[in-house]
Structure 1
């Protein structure tokens, strides 16, 4: 066994974070993310990693390997993904909450550039994804999956949210449906393979900058089309800044009015940097801004569904955001 192999046999430690899978750091060199439960192949992450590597996108943890096995029925199950360990890395539920408490917003421009670079990379052809962009004549959004998916998310959130929060939500169901209505008549927009679960917790701040991780898709959505509007990722990322604000209020005793101002500034800074970077890269047409608001409302519904099914203590965050939008 080589010395490098011996190094990988060093201490293992779990990653302390709320997540649906289980990650282990091995020898301070690699991270093994075990899927719990194993997922039937194909899964998006292995192909996305291959694509991003081939088009030169490096703002992620370097992918090393995927581990799979054949099930009794002959299908293939993805067991784990192995990526580089990023020294000094902290996810956004740590570092971004610190920014909220301190009032810092300069990071938001970095996140805007990072997400624009990711979307531009997703829209660049590779051997893995030779035709990465679908156009208006290939997909019709209106009357179809976006509106239906959003309506189902709202219905599920209403059904799963109980108590005073559930009563409050039910009273505003009509207003929330109205927010989603533009999805039923959405115009043509380019579709790309998006991250699918892009929030600050998926952005690590580490020794050498920022890295976006976890390309497994949204844990509350089954069978989603891999081609989606870029606006869906951006809407989830900007709403996660508001969730950070709610975390700062609840766990760090931050002032709600101060946090409201911080959230608004951080969101605006991120979106402006995103738009500027997309234009610089020649991909300005990827973003349809008319989709942002309805996707944001859908995302809050999905956060409520996630809380009900996986992490009940999280419900305060999406409810806090919704209550701030509908005082």
Structure 2
């Protein structure tokens, strides 16, 4: 077992990560005040808040119930340490995002402080922990946005659209951004074919994994669903930027001083996803999450389906209007390819069904509710 100072930090996957209240996370933060010994490395972004220091009383620790894939510990109501339950090999998308967003001054996120990595015996480096600022009174979108849906309020969507635009304007300046000016026709055409093939593959997997009445409905609409995906095959000249990769309302915190986007780890359910994709990918996931919020409001809050559908449609259009305006104000309206939004939304619903079948069966009502509502409205 490796150690960092007096803190029992390890790179072994069979060792339990620190838990809230055991004092290890607070001790870890104190150890970061000193140089980090090999084989550990620390990438520093913004200065850590002062304290706790070694030898001083530890800050109080508590967990975050909503964090499921990994384990986050809030320390002293100032810092959040996300311990990866399985150390992730580098390169890791969060590290590049943290460095770049800090460099360009993007402030609509939890302040990134540091990332702890460790070099293994073979020389491979893995990510162990991410250290960010704590946002007081923060609630994620699966809470606050459902409240908005239940109340029928949509003004928030303007703020979300501007936030997404600001994020993409910042990420678009990351090196390796490519587009029509830097890719040849054959590369772009292959990229369009890859987008379409990936989406059709998601549809096929959703059809295979969804059973019962929902599966029958999907099979009956398979042709219509695939037709909705076809514009992807023709989008040979789309612009590609570094995207968030898992942008839904659950990644948007409403806190004491406003809104913040978090979690730049990428989509944990899509292993082959690349960090550089059309901006419309993020936009579509964000808009579909608004429709999922409407389904949650129906199921859990007793909202009328017609009212929830109207709320979702209004919130979606409000968000898109603000997003387009934000890109125009930043001088980059070409970042959004309108042709891709609808197809990516359909693909996202297929991926939600795949996620439900593999990890969370009770979630299936949300993507199925969206698809049934959308095709019912189109038929009407």
TM bin (shorter chain) = over 0.9
For 1:141 and 1:298, locate their aligned partners in 2 and report how far apart those are by CA, in whole Å: 19
- Taking the aligned partners of 2:71 and 2:194, their CA distance within structure 1 comes to 31
Give 1:227's aligned residue.
276
Bigger RCO of structures 1 and 2 (CA < 8 A, at least 6 apart):
1
Q: Which position in structure 2 is the counterpart of 1:140?
A: 188
Q: Structure 1 residues 145 and 9, CA, compared in 2 at 3 Å: closer, same or farther?
A: farther
SS at the partner of 2:126? strand
TM-score normalised by the chain length of structure 2: 0.81
Shift of 1:295: 0.3
1:28 is matched with 77
Q: Distance in 1 between matches of 2:324 and 2:68?
A: 30
Q: Given that residues 249 and 289 in structure 2 are in contact (C-alpha distance below 8 angstroms), is that contact kept between their aligned partners in structure 1?
A: yes
Output one character per residue of 1:254-281: Cα deviation in whole Å (capped at 9) or x when no partner: 1111111111110010000000111011
Per-residue deviation, residues 49-87 of structure 1 (Å, max 9, x unmatched): 100110111100011111222334432121221110000
Unaligned ranges ≥5, structure 1 = none
Aligned to 1:260: 309
State the secondary structure of the residue aligned to 1:144. Answer: helix
Q: 1:4 corresponds to which residue?
A: 51
Does structure 2 retain, via aligned residues, the 8 Å contact 1:136–1:190?
no
Larger Cα-atom Rg:
2
Pick which of 150-159 and 55-64 moved more. 150-159
Indicate the larger mover: 308-317 or 250-259: 308-317
- Give the structure-1-normalised TM-score: 0.94
Quick one: structure 1 residues 13 and 274, their matched pair in 2 at CA, closer, same or farther if it must change by over 3 Å? same
Moved more, 306-315 or 173-182: 306-315
Matches within 5 A, 1:132-281: 132-135=177-180, 137-138=182-183, 139-141=187-189, 144-281=193-330
Q: Distance in 2 between matches of 1:220 and 1:106?
A: 31
Does the 8 Å CA contact 2:244/2:275 hold for their aligned counterparts? Answer: no
Q: Which runs of 5+ in 2 are unaligned?
A: 1-29, 34-49
When the two chains are superposed, the root-mean-square deviation of aligned CA atoms in Å is 1.8
Per the TM alignment, residue 141 of structure 1 is displaced from its structure 2 partner at its CA by: 4.4
Q: Which residue of 2 aligns with 1:75?
A: 124
Matched residues in 2 for 1:66 and 1:131: separation? Answer: 22
Between 3-12 and 107-116, report the one with greater CA deviation: 3-12
